Amino acid sequence: MMMMRKWLFLTVFGCAVVSAVGNSVSSLPAEDQANLLGPIGQTFALPVGGGLNVDAVTLGRAAHFYKEDKENGWLGAVSVELREDLDGNPETWDPGEVLARSEAVELLGQGSDVTANLAQPVRLRGGRVYALVVLDGRGRVATRRVGLSPAGARPGWCLFSDKKPAFEGRFDLAMRLEATADGDVSSLPAVDSANFEESCGQTFTMAQSMEVDAIEVGGAKLMGHQDDIDNKSVKLVLSEDADGDASTWGLGAEIAESTVKDLALGDGVVTRFEFPSGVRLRQGRVYVLSFANSGGGDVAVRVGLGEETSRLNGVLFDKGEPIYEDRFDLAMRLRGSSGARASMGTGSSTVRYQGLKLHLRRKR
């Protein structure tokens, strides 16, 4: 019965084929919090055909546990490991070989999501069970306060505290596996940071078409004159490039604006800006990413910088001029799905479910 429940994900019109393409597997947003004892972990099963190339993990509302540290304003750090599950049973705690480890990320507070970038992307295969282990900033077993999401909608998931199932299976860890498609557009992680008074922007060229759901911006290091910079109520603006030349500054037609969000500061911190609906970016086109305040005007920002050897194929601008002799790009990453757009027809349709793309075929 366990195995049947584990793999019975969804059946519509008698047949369903499930796959995850350049998107994510998610239990966000966090709806509660709890203090858990180490080792803390979440097992999860990927559906058959639902393989992912994972390069980062987002934890919802993660925080340090100890009250005295919280009162002193230091919330510590967190890191994660992705492991195989030894027996393929998500309801037992027996993590196996380490597949990937993340960098340490500062915990910003009880209301903040944090994204930990993996040292190297890892391929998770469909039809298998994996374990995500939550550790401290030095990669050690630790007690942490984590975000929780109500269980029930994710077959094959189980949250563990001190090697035992937590909360009688009523909650899962609030998390998201960030998946990358081939031709991923990214300049993360941030290796430096800078203040911009106004009109900061980054051009980038699309190696392949992509439907973008969100853009992540790397956090600036906690140094310098950030007190003079307003990082609150920031949104991202995506525009076409006026002349199609990534080496010159020219804002064309605006394509989309993200939701407004605080731009977080801190080593290893990534702020995720969501778009109300998917934004289609086309292969070979040049686009411009810029910042604006909630009213659409220029805004001062302090942001992370990525190595120019990234895959953005563009230039970072300040007040319309290239800066740093093109040695750095804005630390950013596009999130979404690549390839052809979802199609609808009389015999089939494609929908999203728990961060996966589901291709549904009518039984004939």
**pLDDT given at position 342:** 33
**pLDDT given at position 285:** 92
Please state the rounded mean pLDDT for residues 10-31: 52
State yes or no: pLDDT of 72 exceeds 70: no
**pLDDT given at position 181:** 60
| Span 176-223, pLDDT tens digits | 998 776 556 888 888 888 888 777 899 999 988 888 999 999 887 654
- 216 and 117 in contact (C-beta within 8 Å)? no
**pLDDT given at position 310:** 67
Percent of the chain with pLDDT over 70: 76
**pLDDT given at position 223:** 47
**pLDDT given at position 65:** 53
pTM for the complete prediction? Answer: 0.60
Q: Tell me which fold the domain 192-338 belongs to.
A: Jelly Rolls (2.60.120)
Does 145 or 133 have the greater pLDDT score?
A: 133
Does 200 or 164 have the greater pLDDT score?
A: 164
State yes or no: pLDDT of 134 exceeds 90: yes
Least confident of 31-45, 87-101, 295-309: 295-309
Give the pLDDT band of residue 94 (cuts 50, 70, 90). Answer: very high
Does 273 or 351 have the greater pLDDT score?
A: 273
Give the pLDDT band of residue 148 (cuts 50, 70, 90). Answer: very high
Does 228 or 128 have the greater pLDDT score?
A: 128
| Span 225-247, pLDDT tens digits | 445 554 567 999 999 999 999 99
Same fold, 2-179 and 192-338: yes
State yes or no: pLDDT of 80 exceeds 50: yes
State yes or no: pLDDT of 337 exceeds 50: yes
Give the pLDDT band of residue 102 (cuts 50, 70, 90). Answer: very high
**pLDDT given at position 75:** 53
- What ranges do the domains of the chain cover? 2-179, 192-338
Please state the rounded mean pLDDT for residues 137-162: 90
Q: Tell me which fold the domain 2-179 belongs to.
A: Jelly Rolls (2.60.120)
Least confident of 4-8, 212-216, 226-230, 358-362: 4-8
